[in-house]
């Protein structure tokens, strides 16, 4: 066995773990690996001959193979498995060793683990990692949270493995405690929004009679413009893919039931707890939920009526209109995501750098996009920006797109095509820009049934009034 101690250790050799190990090793570090199912470790080592890898059958051997202070990244299923691995590690580690949880852990779990390990004299980093299999191998975006001093120790490895954009690594220290996993959670919420918006564009094109090849060409072209992004790029490629068995477009053969592992729902819950409006992300999560109720939908389709979903008569100019609807809705989704990050950052005193967060999302991660440069610029120009929609660049995008956006939503509604994320985004836009909403009547209703009081337009804010409303129960 190799007597040289490894620079880095990783536990959990599934898709993310394996690729991260190869990435770290490729930057000149020796890496020790351990997996609960030992066969996987052996297969991995056998599949990667000649590399600076040390496969370990036991956690004891794994820990002993690492240089001090030990740097151990856990890449196992989020939730209880992370706690189980931590518990197994604790008796084997020395003071100041570092555990990094790189999975999609809930940020409150990270805060709990951070405090628990600090109490035992161990250091902990909760790092969100995004980029999937390819990103993990070639360069992911990394969102580490934890003590700044621990980040400094990890910085050389993380900066060397992260994606690079304009020479800058797509990793920065996000903040203390659970800040890194929190920002990764919002990244995933935004990812849900982006994906759903693209799917709604696809459903409109499908209803207009575009072939999958034509749709692929549209997305490929969009990837050259303002919508350039990894998700638009892979959408074009996915639409081009043929099923080897039947020769048909593969997407046509994929069942329309979306899965989800929970980060979108966590984002929803956190927004609700903090009274932040994230309608686009909510719509995206709920669209996945409804899609998964396939049997119910098929049954309901026999009973519930609607117009014919045929947009062929509207095909002319549809591509440009849907482009604008998608672009504007995307601005809304990021506006909501950053509003939530800002709200939580202030509440937790994380001192977050919004421009820096947008900047590290430009490469490696699933939501990487040219568009993120404008978010960085907006927050660099005005770090106290109240709402992203009001930054000059985004104001222009929305003002220019809003007419087409409305036409697309109206067209979809008129033809019975569900566009929950497009329409929710437009409602957010229209609500936010409304000088006066209908909440005056709502306040009247609240005061009517519960004496909850209301403020008046003709009296100073902060004075509350109650009316003796008529009795309605006989
Ligand atoms: N897949 C992706 O694209 C991305 C995933 N992530 C996150 O990264 C983490 C790893 O993801 P992924 O690579 O997909 O793997 P999985 O989430 O599928 O987890 C599988 C790994 O977890 C190990 N494991 C499960 N339970 C335990 C346990 N109780 N004790 C020890 N090990 C256990 C498995 O070991 P065994 O082989 O013995 O079963 C295996 O190595 C997850 O948190 C995921 O959410 C983050 C970004 C992208
Ligand atoms: O974190 C990720 C990317 O950033 C993972 O791919 C995640 O699994 C995606 O979420 P879901 O499975 O719920 O679609």
CATH value at residue 12: 3.40.50.720
Are 342 and 275 in a shared domain? yes
Q: Which H or E run includes 53?
A: strand 53-56
How far is the C-alpha of 157 from the C-alpha of 125, rounded, in Å?
A: 13
Backbone angles phi, psi at 169, to 5 degrees: -70, 140
Backbone angles phi, psi at 44, to 5 degrees: -65, -45
- Looking at residue 474, its pLDDT comes to 81
Q: Are 117 and 124 within 8 A, CB to CB?
A: yes
Residues in contact with ligand 2 by the CB-under-6-Å rule are 104, 130, 132, 188, 191, 260-261, 263-264, 366
Q: Which one of the listed residues 40, 71, 111, 184 is annotated catalytic?
A: 184
Residue ranges for the chain with pLDDT beneath 50: none
2 lies in some domain: no
Per-residue pLDDT tens over the stretch 139-180: 999 999 999 999 999 999 999 999 999 999 999 999 999 999
- Looking at residue 2, its pLDDT comes to 67
Are 127 and 257 in a shared domain? no
The atom of ligand 2 lying closest to the CA of 128 is 1
* Angle between helix 179-207 and helix 230-240 axes, rounded to 10 deg: 40
**Centroid of ligand 2 to alpha carbon of 328 (angstroms):** 24
Are 311 and 217 in a shared domain? yes
74 lies in some domain: yes
Considering its fold, how many domains does the chain have in total?
3
Per-residue pLDDT tens over the stretch 295-312: 999 999 999 999 999 999
Q: What is the pTM of this model?
A: 0.96
Are 422 and 447 in a shared domain? no
How far is the C-alpha of 309 from the C-alpha of 239, rounded, in Å?
A: 21
Are 160 and 231 in a shared domain? no
- Residue whose CA is closest, atom 4 of ligand 1? 132
* Angle between helix 279-292 and helix 263-273 axes, rounded to 10 deg: 140
User: By residue range, what is the domain housing residue 371?
Assistant: 184-432
Are 163 and 212 in a shared domain? no
∠ CA 224-225-228, nearest 5°, is: 70
Does the active-site annotation cover 257? no
């Amino acid at each position: 066995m190799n007597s040289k101690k490894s620079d880095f250790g990783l536990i959990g050799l599934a898709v993310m773990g394996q690729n991260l190990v190869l990435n770290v090793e490729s930057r000149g570090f020796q890496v020790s690996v351990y997996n609960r199912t030992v066969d996987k470790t052996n297969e991995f080592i056998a599949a990667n001959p000649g590399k600076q890898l040390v496969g370990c059958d036991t956690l004891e051997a794994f820990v002993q193979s690492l240089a001090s202070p030990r740097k151990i990244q856990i890449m196992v299923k989020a939730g209880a498995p992370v706690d189980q691995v931590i518990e197994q590690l604790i008796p084997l580690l020395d003071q100041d060793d570092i555990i990094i949880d790189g999975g999609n852990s809930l940020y409150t779990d990270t805060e709990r683990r951070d405090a628990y390990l600090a109490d035992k004299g161990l250091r902990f980093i909760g790092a969100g990692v995004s980029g999937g299999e390819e990103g993990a191998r070639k360069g992911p975006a990394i969102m580490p949270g934890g003590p700044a001093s621990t980040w400094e120790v990890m910085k050389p490895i993380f900066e060397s493995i992260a994606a690079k954009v304009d020479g800058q690594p797509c990793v920065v220290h996000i903040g203390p405690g659970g800040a890194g996993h929190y920002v990764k959670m919002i990244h995933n919420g935004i990812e849900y929004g982006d994906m759903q918006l693209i799917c709604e564009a696809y459903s409109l094109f499908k209803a207009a009679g575009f072939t999958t090849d034509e749709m692929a060409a549209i997305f490929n072209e969009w990837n050259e413009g303002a919508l350039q992004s990894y998700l638009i790029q892979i959408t074009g490629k996915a639409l081009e893919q043929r099923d080897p068995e039947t020769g048909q477009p593969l997407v046509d053969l994929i069942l329309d039931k979306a899965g989800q592992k929970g980060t979108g729902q966590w984002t929803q819950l956190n927004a609700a707890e903090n009274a932040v409006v994230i309608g686009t992300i909510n719509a995206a999560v709920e669209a996945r939920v409804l899609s998964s109720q396939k049997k119910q939908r098929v049954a309901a389709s026999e009973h519930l009526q609607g117009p014919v979903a045929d947009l062929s008569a509207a095909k002319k100019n549809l591509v440009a209109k849907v482009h604008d609807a998608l672009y504007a809705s995307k601005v809304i989704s990021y506006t909501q995501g950053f509003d939530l990050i800002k709200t939580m950052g202030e509440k937790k005193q994380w001192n977050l750098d919004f421009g820096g967060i947008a900047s590290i999302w430009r490469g490696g991660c699933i939501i990487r996009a040219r568009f993120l440069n404008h978010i960085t610029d907006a927050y660099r120009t005005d770090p106290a920006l109240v709402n992203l929609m009001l930054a000059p660049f985004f104001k222009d995008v929305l003002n220019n797109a809003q007419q087409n956006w409305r036409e697309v939503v109206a067209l979809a509604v008129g033809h019975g095509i569900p566009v929950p994320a497009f329409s929710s985004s437009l409602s957010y836009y229209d609500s936010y820009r409304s000088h006066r909403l209908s909440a005056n009547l709502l306040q009247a209703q609240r005061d009517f049934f519960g004496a909850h009081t209301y403020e008046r337009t003709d009296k100073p804010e902060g004075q509350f009034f109650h009316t003796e409303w008529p009795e309605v129960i006989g």
